[in-house]
Amino acid sequence: MGKIKVTTLGGEDEQKMRQERNVKREEKKKREEAKKVHISGMKGGERVKQVGADEDIDRLAKLAEEVEKDQTEGIRAEASKEKEANLPAGRQGRQRKKRVRSKAYQAALIKIDPKKIYTLDEALKLLREISLTKFDASVEVHINTKDKGMRGTVAYPHGTGKQLRIRIADEELITKIEQGKIDFDILISHPSLMPKLAKVARILGPKGLMPNPKNNTISTEPEKAAAKFQKGEVGWKTEPDFPIIHQVIGKLSFKDKQLEENYQALVKSISDSKIVSITLKSTMSPGIKVRI
């Protein structure tokens, strides 16, 4: 007797129907997932909302973007408030205004060829033509160097035109500094007094007035050091975080020869091999690129 094939009534039809139901169930699940929109900033179960139309999806997606934008701006606002709180009391609450150059400045700027690097003679002549001040402006040199952390001193042949207030540290002066009274531009100290000056370092340091052997303001003969500064010796250094030196070399009332000699003394003290670029300007004027 051969094999008997037994077919369960409705077995193939039921299996086919079951497969179709599974397919429909999966398609429905995909449609439902497509209608779920995540909205930033909502809590727990509120994060997912069921919608019934494509228009609602677009609307809520846009809402989600707006919420995220608001959150970002809120974080920035908090950061701004924190930065504001760290400012000195007198500067809190001020809003930085966009700087608008005067017509005189713009007219002076037109006279400078931005692509040209001028000789020192040409730069000094042009500098007098574009001066914007009615007072005797300072002549400034801004130097980009190859390295940061550089410092030194230079003895200008003709001084800077500024009457420097030079003081030699003593205990009476330290007491005045503690009270916030600073009436000097350069402070010179004997090495033995440095431990006592340390307690006012937080006041002098940020102002660049703390005596330092690297700029010759710590000396066993402070009177002689003061005399050198009085004759025109000044210290120079790069900014703390950038290889840039800002230095005054005189006044516009100086003759070109005097400014030229002061300029050359500064460049020599830095070494032209360590200089990348030089810009010459006066108080409030645009800068002029100078050939090294």
Q: How does residue 48 score in pLDDT terms, banded at 50, 70 and 90? A: very low
pTM for this prediction? 0.55
**Closest C-alpha among 138, 141, 150 to residue 214:** 150
The DSSP annotation for 190-224 comes to -GGGHHHHGGGHHHHGGGT-S--GGGT-B-SSHHH
> How far is 103 from 275, CA to CA, in rounded Å?
33
Cβ contact 247:111 at 8 Å: no
**Average confidence (pLDDT) over 225-232:** 83
**Mean per-residue pLDDT, 176-191:** 91
At the topology level, CATH places domain 114-162+232-292 in Ribulose 1,5 Bisphosphate Carboxylase/Oxygenase (3.30.190)
Locate the domains of the chain by residue range.
114-162+232-292, 165-231
Instruction: Say if residue 82 is exposed, middle or buried (CB neighbours under 10 Å; 0-12, 13-18, 19+).
Output: exposed
Q: Say whether pLDDT at 47 is over 60.
A: no
> How does pLDDT run across 59-113, given as a tens digit for each residue?
444 444 443 444 444 444 555 556 666 666 666 555 566 667 778 888 888 889 9
**Exposed/middle/buried for residue 265 (C-beta within 10 Å: 0-12, 13-18, 19+):** middle
At a CB cut-off of 8 Å and minimum separation 6, what does 240 contact? 148
User: Is residue 8 scored above 60 in pLDDT?
Assistant: no
CATH code: domain 165-231 is: 3.40.50.790
Distance CA 224, CA 290 (A): 35
Number of Cβ atoms within 10 Å of the Cβ of 108: 20
Length of the chain: 292
CA-nearest of 292, 288, 256, 291 to 111 is 288
Closest CA to 249 of 274, 276, 267: 267
The pLDDT, as a whole number, for residue 250 is 94
Provide the percentage of residues in the chain whose pLDDT is more than 70.
Answer: 71
Confidence (pLDDT) at 232? 74
Out of 96-100, 147-151, 165-169, 257-261, which region has the weakest mean confidence (pLDDT)? 96-100
Which pLDDT belongs to residue 86?
65
What is the predicted pLDDT for the residue at 64?
43
247 forms bridges with which residues in the sheet?
Answer: 141
Q: Which residue has the higher pLDDT, 138 or 38?
A: 138
State the DSSP H helix or E strand holding residue 143, giving kind and residue range, or none if neither.
strand 138-145
Report whether pLDDT(241) > 80. yes
For the cut 80, the answer to whether the pLDDT of residue 202 exceeds it is yes
